[in-house]
Structure 1
């Protein structure tokens, strides 16, 4: 069996839509401005060569004629496990799987992305930690993410009081002290057998420097200023491809400020279109909407709850999850680079659990 490879040099046509595009993510006095369990997902459909005709798909969906722009809500409603009850969703997934179409996505866990700079800031100030492998750094990031979910109210209070991610130099030691106080009671628990103690020792080294470089000199309380880098990423990575985005005025204006140069030539490989007149953009909306709901389901449920849910799924729900996994696998096998996630081990392993459950069903 051939090992899937990343192909950044091929000529593909990418269509995009996004879900949970919250513009900015920031901390307020008692909460965040958006659900911290959400993932920002940018992605959609991609093909190589001749553009496939997907009008037959929309005809098969047999939707009301007065719908000007098809979205996920028109074929599946509710939370993720409710969406899996939809027969129209299965038509959609199986059509994509059976034709010359693939999916692509970049999925960002916004809470994870907002807190991992604490670990990176500590590591760069620790000679011992800098000698460790990046996989261990990610292990520490996973633990602080799990801790943040358990102690979200305390974390919000900490972030707000210290104007995170703009910790002032005079407040670094106090910030570290209060952060350690939050996770101190978890250090000897089975849930955190090793990582938090290591992180505590690394943070103690930081006190010698009074510096947390990646969470200083930023804007008070603004955890994510915008998501432009995730729009830029495929443009410069897949420089020989075409990238077609749903009209997004703010993103269009931000991207227009960048000039991407390769071998002294400017890359102009992207455009914005009106989604109402483009079925591939509408199909992208359906797919990324579903992926956003899947991410929220994973982020808000334990492994035990997920296993119990799957044990009680109807045949239609199981058929839909299998069709989704098949479509993701087909796209992964075509090009590993189509799929991109920034997330914790905690949540990524839950996706692996879903695969294991379904694989056992066919064993």
Structure 2
């Protein structure tokens, strides 16, 4: 009930949200497949990326532990073979294939294609391990894991240059802004201030909305179509209304200014968000039949 009250208050007071998604795991999955892919078939390449990305979503910590252990993307040459082997073991091809066969009809062409591409992904990793390939990032020399997240704080300042921005008075954010000063036409950009969140209701509401959105996107990244149907069927009326209100808030913000909402389409993330907040009842009923 508190959720619906707060979102309704936001809408009634013409407040809009600025939403930008970024997932290092998604970018890294693209990097890895681009580097080891042994096929020129674009569809197969995309399928491998999707498979790896789905596995990352289901075990984010396990994947992150591997990256940290081998100092990705600056993997030492002598550790390259072990890196690819560790990644292959983490994926667990045998258990993945068994899971697919146990849960599906052998005539399901989509699943059979996924298994075939999974086998080819395994072959790509084997080749990388045997050849001791040294990973080189094709995106930027420092990789994509951003320890200080400076870009996330700076982007709104640049995108909305003539607006006034407010940050919570935290040392981490303050140090980042001082470390990476921004300039425009030779002048320092200082269109922001720091305020203690205890004294600013808007910051507290913003933190609350961020928490809800983080949980929403984490759920969508880990959930496939069948699981989404099952989730929706279990919702009560209040829960459905709350999710619908959240979707309306995102949509209203996008209509107000398309730059307010930037969602990277991680293999259908946009579609999942639109689908689950719109509650396309006819699709649900058709599925249940």
TM over 0.5, shorter chain: yes
Which of the residues 21, 31, 41 maps onto 1:120?
31
Which string of whole-angstrom CA distances, capped at 9 and with x for unpartnered residues, describes residues 57-106 of structure 1? xxxxxxxxxxxxxxxxxxxxxxxxxxxxx1x3222212222332211122
Distance in 2 between residues matched to 1:157 and 1:254, nearest whole Å: 25
Matching residue of 1:350: 272
RMSD: 4.0
Distance in 2 between residues matched to 1:295 and 1:115, nearest whole Å: 13
- Does structure 2 retain, via aligned residues, the 8 Å contact 1:244–1:271? yes
User: Does 1:318 pair with 2:212?
Assistant: no
User: 1:333: Cα distance to partner?
Assistant: 1.3
Matching residue of 2:137: 214
- Structure 1 residues 303 and 241 mapped into 2: Cα distance closer, same or farther (>3 Å)? same
Distance in 2 between residues matched to 1:362 and 1:148, nearest whole Å: 28
- Does structure 2 retain, via aligned residues, the 8 Å contact 1:121–1:213? no
Distance in 1 between residues matched to 2:131 and 2:284, nearest whole Å: 56
Q: How many residues align?
A: 269
Distance in 2 between residues matched to 1:225 and 1:105, nearest whole Å: 20
Distance in 2 between residues matched to 1:288 and 1:244, nearest whole Å: 15
TM-score (ref. length: structure 2): 0.73
- Does structure 1 retain, via aligned residues, the 8 Å contact 2:80–2:135? yes
Structure with the higher helix share, 1 or 2: 2
User: 1:322: Cα distance to partner?
Assistant: 1.5
- Does structure 2 retain, via aligned residues, the 8 Å contact 1:119–1:140? no
Distance in 2 between residues matched to 1:198 and 1:258, nearest whole Å: 43
Matching residue of 1:147: 55
Matching residue of 2:217: 295
Unaligned runs of 5+ residues in structure 1 are 1-85
Distance in 1 between residues matched to 2:124 and 2:253, nearest whole Å: 40
User: 1:346: Cα distance to partner?
Assistant: 6.0
User: 1:171: Cα distance to partner?
Assistant: 2.0
User: 1:278: Cα distance to partner?
Assistant: 1.6
Matching residue of 2:183: 261
Which of the residues 76, 79, 93 maps onto 1:171?
79
User: Does 1:106 pair with 2:106?
Assistant: no
Matching residue of 2:108: none
TM-score (ref. length: structure 1): 0.60
Matching residue of 1:251: 173
User: 1:170: Cα distance to partner?
Assistant: 1.8
User: 1:138: Cα distance to partner?
Assistant: 6.1
User: 1:123: Cα distance to partner?
Assistant: 2.2
Which 10-residue stretch deviates more, 346-355 or 257-266? 346-355
Structure with the higher strand share, 1 or 2: 1
Matching residue of 2:107: none
Unaligned runs of 5+ residues in structure 2 are 101-110
